[in-house]
Structure 1
Amino acid sequence: MNLPPATALPQTPLLVIDRTALMRNLARMQALCDAAGVRLRAHGKTHKCSALGRLIIEGGAVGLCCQTVGEAEAYVAGGVRDVLVTAPSPPWGAARLAALAKTGATVGAVADDEGQIDRLSDAAVAAGATLDVVIDLDLGTHRAGAYPKDALRLARAADAAPGLRFAGIQAYLGHLQHMEDLGLRRSADEAAFATLKALVAELTEAGLPPPVVTGGGTGTHAYDLASGVYTELQAGSYAVMDVEYDACGAPDGQAWGFEPAIFIASSVVSANHKSHVTCDAGFKAVSMDGPPARVVAGAATGSLWRAMGDEHGMIAHPALIDVLKAGGRDPLGFDKAVASADADPARAWPSDAPQVGDIVWLQPGHCDPTINLYDALHVWDGTTLERWPVDGRRVSAL
Structure 2
Amino acid sequence: MTDRPGPPLAFRPPMTPALVVRRAVLEQNLAAMQALCDAAGVKLRAHGKMHKCSTLGRRQVELGAVGLCCQTVGEAEVYAAAGVGDLLVTSPPAPWGAARIAAIAKGGVKIAVVADDAGQIDRLSAAAVAADTIVGLVVDIDLGTHRTGVPPEDVLALVRHANAAPGLLYRGVQAYLGHLQHLTDLDQRRAACEVTRQRLGGLVGELTEAGLAPQLVTGGGTGTYAADLASGVFNEIQAGSYAFMDVEYEDCPSPDGGPWAFASSLFLAATVVSARHKTHVVCDAGLKAHSVDGPPARIAAGAPQGARWRPMGDEHGAIFHPALTQALKSGGDFDRAVTATDADEAIPWPADAPQVGDLVWLQPGHIDPTVNLHDALFVVDELGGVEVWPIDARRTARV
TM-score, normalised relative to structure 1: 0.97
Secondary structure at the aligned position of 1:201 is classed as: helix
Residue correspondence of structure 1 range 307-326 to structure 2 within 5 A: 307-326=311-330
Cα distance in 2 for residues equivalent to 1:397 and 1:233: 29
Matched, 1:38 2:39: no
Cα distance in 2 for residues equivalent to 1:293 and 1:193: 34
Aligned residue identity for 2:175: A
Secondary structure at the aligned position of 1:248 is classed as: coil
Name the residue aligned to 2:62: 58
1:170 to 160, 174, 184: 174
Aligned residue identity for 1:358: D
Cα distance in 2 for residues equivalent to 1:325 and 1:257: 37
Name the residue aligned to 1:274: 278
Cα distance in 2 for residues equivalent to 1:3 and 1:246: 16
Aligned length: 394
Name the residue aligned to 2:110: 106
Matched, 1:336 2:336: yes
Q: Kindly state the Cα deviation for residue 2 of structure 1 after the two structures are TM-superposed.
A: 5.6
Q: Kindly state the Cα deviation for residue 249 of structure 1 after the two structures are TM-superposed.
A: 1.9
Secondary structure at the aligned position of 2:251 is classed as: helix
Residue correspondence of structure 1 range 115-264 to structure 2 within 5 A: 115-264=119-268
Cα distance in 1 for residues equivalent to 2:44 and 2:35: 10
Which stretch shows the higher mean deviation, 341-350 or 126-135? 341-350
Cα distance in 2 for residues equivalent to 1:258 and 1:7: 22
Cα distance in 1 for residues equivalent to 2:108 and 2:248: 38
Cα distance in 1 for residues equivalent to 2:16 and 2:121: 46
Secondary structure at the aligned position of 2:245 is classed as: coil
Secondary structure at the aligned position of 1:23 is classed as: helix
Name the residue aligned to 1:363: 363
Secondary structure at the aligned position of 1:360 is classed as: strand
Cα distance in 1 for residues equivalent to 2:339 and 2:391: 42
Contact 1:275/1:320 (<8 A) preserved: yes
Cα distance in 2 for residues equivalent to 1:65 and 1:345: 58
Contact 2:73/2:397 (<8 A) preserved: no
Which stretch shows the higher mean deviation, 317-326 or 1-10? 1-10
Contact 1:326/1:334 (<8 A) preserved: no
Name the residue aligned to 1:353: 353
Matched, 1:393 2:386: no
Question: Cα distance 1:60–1:324, how it changes in 2: closer, same or farther (>3 A)?
Answer: same
After TM superposition, the runs of 4+ consecutive aligned structure 1 residues lying more than 6 A away are: none
Aligned residue identity for 2:163: D
Contact 2:6/2:264 (<8 A) preserved: no
Contact 1:301/1:318 (<8 A) preserved: yes
Cα distance in 2 for residues equivalent to 1:379 and 1:81: 24
Contact 1:203/1:210 (<8 A) preserved: yes
Question: Cα distance 1:323–1:278, how it changes in 2: closer, same or farther (>3 A)?
Answer: same
Cα distance in 2 for residues equivalent to 1:249 and 1:366: 16
Contact 1:101/1:131 (<8 A) preserved: yes
> 1:124-170, CA deviations, whole angstroms, 9 ceiling, x for partnerless residues?
01001100000000000110100111111111111111111110000
Q: Kindly state the Cα deviation for residue 327 of structure 1 after the two structures are TM-superposed.
A: 4.3
Aligned residue identity for 2:377: L
Contact 2:90/2:114 (<8 A) preserved: yes
Contact 2:13/2:378 (<8 A) preserved: no
Cα distance in 2 for residues equivalent to 1:234 and 1:360: 33
Aligned residue identity for 1:353: A
2:302 to 295, 298, 301: 298
Identical aligned residues as a percent = 63
Unaligned runs of 5+ residues in structure 2 are: none
Unaligned runs of 5+ residues in structure 1 are: none
Contact 2:220/2:228 (<8 A) preserved: yes
> 1:263-313, CA deviations, whole angstroms, 9 ceiling, x for partnerless residues?
000000011111111000000001000000000101111110001110000
Question: Cα distance 1:97–1:327, how it changes in 2: closer, same or farther (>3 A)?
Answer: farther
Question: Cα distance 1:69–1:233, how it changes in 2: closer, same or farther (>3 A)?
Answer: same
Contact 1:296/1:363 (<8 A) preserved: yes
Cα distance in 2 for residues equivalent to 1:202 and 1:69: 31
Cα distance in 2 for residues equivalent to 1:63 and 1:23: 17
Cα distance in 2 for residues equivalent to 1:307 and 1:180: 25
Cα distance in 1 for residues equivalent to 2:91 and 2:181: 17
Secondary structure at the aligned position of 2:355 is classed as: coil
Name the residue aligned to 2:27: 23
Q: Kindly state the Cα deviation for residue 253 of structure 1 after the two structures are TM-superposed.
A: 2.5
Name the residue aligned to 2:385: 384
